[in-house]
Amino acid sequence: MSENNDKLERKLSARHMKMIALGGTIGVGLFMGAKSTIGWTGPSVLLDYAIAGLFLYLIMRALGEMLYVHPVTGSFSQFASEYLHPVFGYLTAWSNVFQYIVVGISEVIAIGTYMQFWWPHLPTWLPGIIAIVFLCIANLVSVSAFGELEYWFALVKVVTIIAMIIIGLVIIIFGFNGIHPTGISNIWSHGFFANGFKGFFFALAIVIASYQGIELIGVTAGEAENPKQTLVKAIQDTIGRILIFYIGAIFVILSIYPWDKISQIGSPFVETFSQVGITAAASIINFVVVTAALSGSNSGIYSASRMEFLLSEEGQLPKVFKKLNRHGVPYVSVISISAGILIGLFLNVLLPIFFPSANQIFVYVYSSSVLPGMVPWVVILVSQIRFRKQHPEELVNHPFKMPLSPISNYITLIFLAITLVFMFINSSTRIPLIIGIFFLLIMTILYFVKFNKNNK
C-alpha cells in the first residue's frame, strides 16, 4: 500500500458523527440486556439511566469544551498527556485498545450465536470470521466508508427503538389487537425499588457500562469535517437522543409488563412487536441485534486503531503503526486490531476444548473492560480542570463551556467512584473489576520501565 500522506483525513460529516456516537452507545445491551438491569432493581432502573445520563452529559460537555479549541485524533488521550502526565495518556490509549478488542471479541462471538437462530447447525465461529474480514476491509477503504457503514448500522437500531416506543405507547394509551390499554401503573404497583438501594447501585454499574462508547466522538475529532461546528452539534444532539432511546424503551417495557414477570417472557422487544401482530418479530429483533453487534465491532476497530496510531506517533509503538494508505487510513493499526479480535475468537473456540473452565475466564475478561472503559471519563474530567487553568484566554468567547465547572467535575468523579465501590461489593462484578485494576497496574509499570526515561 502506498503512503501518500502523513495525516488523517477529515472525512466524517455531522451526520456520521451523530450516528457514530449513538451507535457506539446503543448496543446489544439494550436489546438483550434490559431484563438483567430490570431484574437487579425493578422500575427504579429508569432513575439509574437518567442519573448516569446526566453525568455522561457533563463528561461530554467537558470533552466538548476542550475539543472546540483542540479538535485532535484520540483527543482525550492527548489531553491526558498534555494536562496531567504522559503516563495517563498512555493508560488512556491502551485502555481504549483493551476495551475495544475485548468488546469486539464478545460482539463477533455474539454474531455467531445470533446467526444460529436461522441456521441452528452453523458453526458459531464462521459468521465471526466473515464479520471481522468484512469490517476490516470496510475500515481500510476510507474513514468515510467506516462512517457510512456505522451510520446505517446505527440507523437500524434507532429505527427499531423508535418503532418499539411508538408501538408501546399505543398499547399503553389505546390498547391494540384485543389488548386493553395497560396504562403505566405497572411502574409502581409491583414495587419501584426491587432490591432496595443496594440493588439500585448494583444496576448502576451495568447501566454505566452500557453508556461506554459515547466518548468515541472524541476519537473521531481529528477526522471530522468542520470540527468545531460538527463536534458541538453532535455532542448536543447525541446525549438527548440516547436518553430518550434508553429511558423511552425501558419505560415502555416496564409499563406494559410487570417488572417481576419480565424474566418469563423472553425478549421484551420481541414480545412487544408480537403483541401488535408482527409475526416476524423474533426474526426482526435478531436481525437488529446482529446489526448492533456488527456496529460495536466496527466502532471498536476504528477507535482502537486510531489509539494505536496515536501511540505510534508518541513513540510508544513501532512507527509502522502510523503508516497511512492512500486513503489516509492507518492500515497497519486497523489490521492489527482486527487480528487481535480474530485471535480472541479462536481462543474462545479452542480453549474450552482443552480447559473446560475457560468459558468462565472469558466471561470475566469481557466484563473487565468496564474499568478501563471509565479511564477516558476520569481523564476528561481532570484534564478539563487543568485546561481551564492553563488557557483562561480561550474561555473568553468560548460558546460551549462545561456547566458549573469545576464543581460539576468533582461531583461526577465522586459518582464514578461510588459506582466502582458498589462494583467491588457486588460479587458478580468484583472479579472483573480486579482484572481491570491489574491491567491498569501492569500498563503503568510498563510505561515507567520503558518510556519514562525518554520523557524526562
372 vs 91, 193, 259, 378, 446, CA distance in Å?
9, 29, 32, 10, 16
Cα separation, 65 vs 399, whole angstroms? 9
**Which pLDDT value is given to residue 84?**
92
Cα separation, 67 vs 250, whole angstroms? 32
Contacts 24+ apart (CB under 8 A), 321-327: 323/1, 323/3, 324/3, 324/4, 324/5, 324/6, 324/7, 324/8, 325/1, 325/2, 325/3, 325/140, 326/1, 326/2, 326/3, 326/4, 326/5, 327/9, 327/140, 327/141, 327/142, 327/143
Task: Tell me the CA end-to-end span of the chain in Å, nearest whole number.
Answer: 36
Q: Is 269 part of a structural domain of the chain?
A: yes
Around Cβ 19, how many Cβ atoms within 10 Å? 24
DSSP state, residue 402: P
Q: Is 413 part of a structural domain of the chain?
A: yes
Around Cβ 31, how many Cβ atoms within 10 Å? 24
385 vs 22, 61, 83, 392, 435, CA distance in Å?
27, 12, 9, 11, 29
Mean pLDDT by runs of 10 across the 456 residues of the chain is: 53 70 67 73 89 90 86 77 91 91 86 87 91 94 84 86 88 80 86 82 81 73 68 74 83 86 74 77 86 87 90 91 89 95 88 72 72 91 93 86 93 94 86 90 93 62
Q: Is 263 part of a structural domain of the chain?
A: yes
List the one residue out of 175, 183, 160, 170 whose CA is nearest residue 245.
160
Cα separation, 285 vs 266, whole angstroms? 12
CA 304, 436, 196: angle at the middle one, nearest 5? 115
Range(s) of the domain holding residue 367:
14-455
**Are the CB atoms for 182 and 256 separated by under 8 Å?**
yes
Cα separation, 120 vs 244, whole angstroms? 35
Q: Is 3 part of a structural domain of the chain?
A: no
**Are the CB atoms for 115 and 122 separated by under 8 Å?**
yes
Cα separation, 114 vs 65, whole angstroms? 40
All 3 cell numbers of residue 52? 448516569
Domains identified in the chain, total number: 1
Q: Is 286 part of a structural domain of the chain?
A: yes
**Which pLDDT value is given to residue 23?**
66
Cα separation, 365 vs 149, whole angstroms? 28
List the one residue out of 67, 373, 353 whose CA is nearest residue 222.
67
List the one residue out of 294, 304, 298, 305 whose CA is nearest residue 334.
305
**Which pLDDT value is given to residue 410?**
97
CATH number at residue 107: 1.20.1740.10
Instruction: Report pTM.
Output: 0.85
Q: Is 208 part of a structural domain of the chain?
A: yes
Q: Is 332 part of a structural domain of the chain?
A: yes
Cα separation, 328 vs 28, whole angstroms? 31
**Are the CB atoms for 161 and 30 separated by under 8 Å?**
yes
